[in-house]
A = this chain, B = another copy of it.
Amino acid sequence: MEKRMARQMNPLDASWLFVDSARTPMQVGVLAIFSLPDDAGSDFIKNLFAHLRKPSGFAAPFNLKLRGSRLLPGAHRLIPAWIEETRIDLDYHLRHSALPQPGGERELGVLISRLHSYPLDFSKPLWECHIIEGLENDRFALYMKMHHSLVDGVGGMRMLSRLLSADPNVVDLPPPWASGSGEKSHAGKSAGANWQQLIEQARRQAQFVPSLAKAIGETWKESLQHRHPELGSPFRAPLSLLNGKIGAQRRFATQHYDLARIRALAKRAKGTVNDVFLCLCAGALRRYLEELGVLPDEPLTAGLPVSVRANDDVGSGNAISFIIANLHTHIADPLERLAAIRKSTQLAKQRFQNLPREAINSYTSLFMAPFMLQLLSGLGGITRPMFNLTISNVPGPDSIRYFNGAKMEQMYPVSLLAHGQALNITVFSYAGQFNVGYTGCRDTLPHVQRLSVYTGEALEELETLLGAAGS
C-alpha cells in the first residue's frame, strides 16, 4: 500500500495541520437545509442515500489522507504529505443521523454543535457528510465537514453547490466526493510545495505580517492619530471574553434574514450592507457582553475580508483583501454606532488602497498568517488579539437551488475557532437571503443562540429608528 505516491502538500494547507489540536480542530463545515419535494415518498431519504452511494470512484481531495502514522501525539507535526486512499470506507464518511422531537432549529443547532466539535479521524480522508432527518415541517439537512487543509469555507460552499441545481428536475448530479474540486492544489502542482519552501514561506510570512500590520497601523495613525483615535490599530483590540484560550466544544446558532431588509437599511443610512450587518453584530455583542457583565470599555474590533481595489490595480474586477473594522461597541445608540462603523470601514478601505500592491494581493497571508503566527508561537489567547473576532460575508448562489429535487431553504457556514478567537460570525448569501452562522466556544460563550436573537432584535430596532419597519 505504501507504494502509493506521496503528494507534496501546499505549505499554506500544511499550516492548518500544524495548528490543529484537540481544542482547536481546524475543520470547516457547511450546513444546508432542504424541504422535501411535494411528491416525495417516504423513501425519499433512502433513495437519496442510494444516489449518494452510487459513484464508485473518489476524486481529490476526498480520496486524500495524511501520509504516516498519527499513533503518537505530535506525529502529525512531521513533514506532511497526502497519499491517495484507494479503499475508502464510504459508510464511515457518509452518515445518516436524525433529530429528536420536535426537530426544530434548536435540536438542529445542538446536533451541529456536537458534530462540529468531534475531531476528524486523521488516519482517513479528512471529511464527513451527514444527512440529517427529522427536521420539522418536512425538511432535512445536510452537514458537510472538512479539514481546512483540504478546503476553505468558500471552497466548501462551492463544493456543496456543485451537488445542487437551479432546476428541480435535475436529480443526477454526482456527490462532491465523486466530482471532486479544483479549489486547492493537492497534487503538488503549486510552487513552494516542499518542506524547505514551507519553512521559508513561514519565515517570509513572519517577516511580512508585522510589517504589513505596521503599515496598516502607521497609515491609520498617520492620518487619524488625532482626528479618529477611536479607529484603533491591529493588535490593539481589547482582551475580551472572546480572546482567551478556548475549549474543544462548540456552540452553533443560526439566523436568516431577507437581504432586502438589510439593503433597505443600508440605503437609508447611506452605508453598505456590510456596515449595517456590522452594526447589528456590534449591537448584539454589546448587549450579550453587557448582560454577562464583561463588555470592555474599549470598542471591539472585527477582522473582515472586504472588496478593495488598489490604486495601481489596472486589472479587471476587485481585489479581495482584509480590513480591521472598529465595531464601536462602546456606543449605545444604534444610529450613532452605525455612523461610526461606516466611517471606520470607509477610512480603513481608503487607507488600505494606499498600501503597497504586494500587501493588497496578499489577502491569504494577511488573513491567516496572524492566526498562524499567534498560534505557532503559543501566544494565541494570551496577547492582545489582532482583532476581537472575524465577521465574514461569503456570496453564495443568487437563485434557488435544488438537491435531487429538494429545495434548498438555507445554507449556513460552520466555522473554525482558534485560541484567542472564541467567536466567528460568517454569512452566506443565498437567493435574496442573508444566512448567518455563529460558531462559538462552548466553554467561553454561554448561550450563543442569544447572539442570533439579539442580532434579529437589533435589526428590528434599527428599522424602527430609520423608519424602515415593514418595508
Q: Residues of A with Cβ closer than 8 Å to B?
A: 21-23, 45, 70-74, 89, 92, 95-101, 107, 110-111, 114, 118-119, 121-123, 133-134, 245, 247-249, 442-443
Contacts and interface: CB of A to CB of B under 8 A. Distances in A.
Contact of A98 (B72, B100, B247): B100
Given A45-B100, A98-B98, A100-B133, A21 B121 contact: no
Main secondary structure of the interface of A (DSSP, over half): loop
A248 B133 contact: no
B114 A95 contact: yes
A372 to B, nearest CB: 17
Contacts of A121: 247-249
A92 B442 contact: yes
A122 B72 CA distance: 17
Contact of A21 (B21, B23, B71, B97): B71
A134 B21 contact: no
A71 B420 CA distance: 14
A72 B21 CA distance: 8
19 contacts: A22-B70, A22-B71, A22-B73, A22-B119, A23-B123, A45-B100, A71-B245, A73-B73, A73-B74, A74-B74, A89-B443, A96-B107, A96-B110, A97-B111, A100-B133, A100-B134, A119-B119, A121-B247, A123-B247
Copies of this chain in the oligomer: 2
B96 A100 contact: yes
A95 B107 CA distance: 11
A67 to B, nearest CB: 16
A98 B99 contact: yes
Contacts of A73: 21-22, 73-74
Contacts of A134: 98, 100, 134
A164 to B, nearest CB: 22
Contacts of A118: 118
Given A45-B100, A97-B111, A121-B249, 15 more contacts: A21-B72, A22-B70, A22-B71, A22-B119, A23-B70, A23-B71, A73-B74, A89-B442, A89-B443, A92-B442, A98-B100, A98-B134, A100-B133, A118-B118, A123-B248
A25 B225 CA distance: 55
A442 B101 CA distance: 30
A147 to B, nearest CB: 15
Nearest to A69: B245
B22 A122 contact: yes
A248 B119 CA distance: 11
